[in-house]
Structure 1
Amino acid sequence: MKTLEQDLPELRPGQSVELLKELHILTREGRINQDSRRKLKQVYHLVQFIEKLLAQVPDAPGHPTLADFGAGKSYLGFILYDLVLRQRAEGHVYGIETRTELVERSRALAQRLGFGRMSFLAIRAEDAASESALPEAIDLVTALHACDTATDDAIAFGLRRKARHMALVPCCQAELAGWLRKEKAQALSRTPLAELWRHPLHTRELGSQLTNVLRCLYLEAMGYQVTVTELVGWEHSMKNELILATRTGQPKRAAAQRLRAILAEFGLQGLEVLRYPGLQ
């Protein structure tokens, strides 16, 4: 097995090797396996995108503020802090995760490493928008592989707090596929387009694609400029779509109209109140 220097030539100067060991990305001997390397590559790529977004945030006391949804073991939050915020005098990372044991573990690790401007909240993603422990002014909302509707909750939070930026890598989009399955018989009798989701595999894939298209339209309708790109090569992850959104404060009426038209075309009008309540 290769040494750390050979295996991770992209390791940045001053990066905490101890952190990577604590996250079990590296072994105690400083070595790395292929699965950990793949995970780290995804996080590194997302950090590079986030750095560019944070460079646009004006200097102000307490900023930048970052909210990490579906944080899990907080790989992204810790590495963001280590690479981006640790050298700054200001800024705070908030990790949002439902599993209490992971939150407690992250709190202990942050204390052990002296990462004082990190907080971890054991709350549901859908409750974060009304959580008083989170600041009203959020500069960036991120979610790396937040499952199913957790990405929608991250978007709802970002809209509620008027986040400057969002960086989202959705995962396991199942909700919309369930709606398509429920209405499949009626849709097949109504339109030949229903052939796109007649077979279960197509239902799942189309549901995933459609979910992200609707999310992008919603963000545009709510005053965000949206870019969609790949996070890393497909050989590293099948959940690879990165949605970047920057607040312009100029809602696009055409995006709202198209979103509603797509919902109507696919018989999904019931989703508007549930997922897109801010549409004008």
Structure 2
Amino acid sequence: MKRDELDLLPGQSEELLKELHILTREGRINQDSRRKLKQVHHLYRFIEKLLRELPDEGNGATLADHGAGKSYLGFILYDLFLKQKTGGRIYGIETRAELVQRSAELAARLGFDRMSFVNISAADASEAKDLPERIDVVTALHACDTATDDAIAFGLRKHARFMVLVPCCQAEIAASLRQNKALSLSRTPLAELWRHPIHTRELGSQLTNVLRCLYMEAKGYQITVTELVGWEHSMKNELILARFTGQPKRSAAERLRAVLAEFGLQSLEASRFPL
């Protein structure tokens, strides 16, 4: 297949995509891989613009990718952006040891010497000695459930200039809504929004991201929420971009507490949204 038929970006390595099993050895691509590549390319375009805002146009940029999995995003970022730079480093954070080892071996084979892989959870990464005190960009692509919250906590701890998040499988708040359903139904007619299980799941997902955005605003970030790709490619499609301004919003903190109180979720403030 020709490059334009594969939807590759200028300068993108076909050999890397073969190593990642996005392309076959014959240079072909199936629909599932094409969909996956389209998502990563969209995310890359957002991140590249942010990297170029850093000093020296991102030449010394540090990026931590939470829930890295097979590190598609990290490898493609390195190939398209960092490979041409003289500095900077990408850290892949992943709990599955076999994926960490496989990614490290691939980076060594490709000569991507400014990629590091850490076998640790997002929750524990803030204290990891293998990671620097400051990280410029924190990413989390489909990090499941509370791993996105852990990535946000990591970004705050590391004074990240930018956070790029595509949340997935938010279950914690839905579970809290179910637990307090009887009390909520007697207290407010709004509880009808989560009386049925499917509504609980969907509202829990929506509410989780609303609270995350308010929390980051309260911590001094400007928030943009948009779509990653079209809904035909992924149902987990919400992209949250956070840019540090250094101006915490008291009004966002007040609204966060008000929303938690309205939905009977005050217990989550200490664990998930410490203000």
Decide whether aligned partners of structure 1 residues 91 and 207 sit closer, same or farther in structure 2, where only a CA change above 3 A counts: same
Aligned-residue offset at 1:112? 0.5
Decide whether aligned partners of structure 1 residues 61 and 233 sit closer, same or farther in structure 2, where only a CA change above 3 A counts: closer
How large is the RMSD of aligned CA atoms in angstroms? 1.2
Aligned-residue offset at 1:173? 0.5
Alignment-mate amino acid for residue 68 of structure 2:
A
Aligned-residue offset at 1:137? 1.5
Would you identify which runs of 4 or more consecutive aligned residues in structure 1 move more than 2 Å? 4-7, 59-62
Give the alignment partner of residue 185 of structure 2, picking from 185, 188, 203: 188
Give the alignment partner of residue 226 of structure 1, picking from 213, 223, 236: 223
Q: Does 1:33 align with 2:34?
A: no
Matches of residues 38-49 of structure 1 in structure 2 within 5 Å? 38-49=35-46
CA distance in 1, matches of 2:29, 2:58: 38
Give the alignment partner of residue 235 of structure 2, picking from 228, 238, 241: 238
CA distance in 1, matches of 2:137, 2:222: 14
Partner deviation per Cα, 1:78-105 (whole Å, 9 max, x = no partner): 0011011000111100000000000000
Alignment-mate amino acid for residue 129 of structure 1:
S
Aligned-residue offset at 1:63? 1.8
Alignment-mate amino acid for residue 38 of structure 1:
R
Q: Does 1:158 align with 2:123?
A: no
Q: Does 1:79 align with 2:37?
A: no
Q: Percent identity?
A: 75
Aligned-residue offset at 1:235? 0.4
Which residue of structure 2 lines up, in the alignment, with residue 105 of structure 1? Answer: 102
TM norm structure 2: 0.98
Give the alignment partner of residue 5 of structure 2, picking from 7, 19, 24: 7
CA distance in 1, matches of 2:11, 2:37: 17
Q: Any conservation in 2 of the 1:141–1:154 contact (CA below 8 Å)?
A: yes
Q: Does 1:198 align with 2:195?
A: yes
Aligned-residue offset at 1:136? 1.1
CA distance in 1, matches of 2:58, 2:23: 35
SS in 1 for 2:12: coil
CA distance in 1, matches of 2:137, 2:2: 31
Partner deviation per Cα, 1:204-257 (whole Å, 9 max, x = no partner): 000000000000000000000000000000000000000000001110000000
SS in 2 for 1:59: helix
CA distance in 2, matches of 1:137, 1:268: 32
Q: Any conservation in 2 of the 1:69–1:143 contact (CA below 8 Å)?
A: yes
CA distance in 1, matches of 2:256, 2:171: 19
Gaps spanning 5+ residues in structure 2: where?
none
SS in 1 for 2:81: helix
Alignment-mate amino acid for residue 77 of structure 1:
G
SS in 2 for 1:86: helix
CA distance in 2, matches of 1:26, 1:259: 45
CA distance in 2, matches of 1:112, 1:128: 26
Alignment-mate amino acid for residue 195 of structure 1:
E
CA distance in 2, matches of 1:61, 1:166: 15
Aligned-residue offset at 1:5? 2.5
Count the aligned residue pairs: 275
Q: Any conservation in 2 of the 1:4–1:32 contact (CA below 8 Å)?
A: no
CA distance in 2, matches of 1:110, 1:55: 23
Partner deviation per Cα, 1:27-67 (whole Å, 9 max, x = no partner): 00000000000000000000000011111111299720000
Give the alignment partner of residue 114 of structure 1, picking from 106, 111, 115: 111
SS in 2 for 1:125: coil
Aligned-residue offset at 1:132? 1.6
Gaps spanning 5+ residues in structure 1: where?
none
Give the alignment partner of residue 95 of structure 1, picking from 92, 95, 119: 92
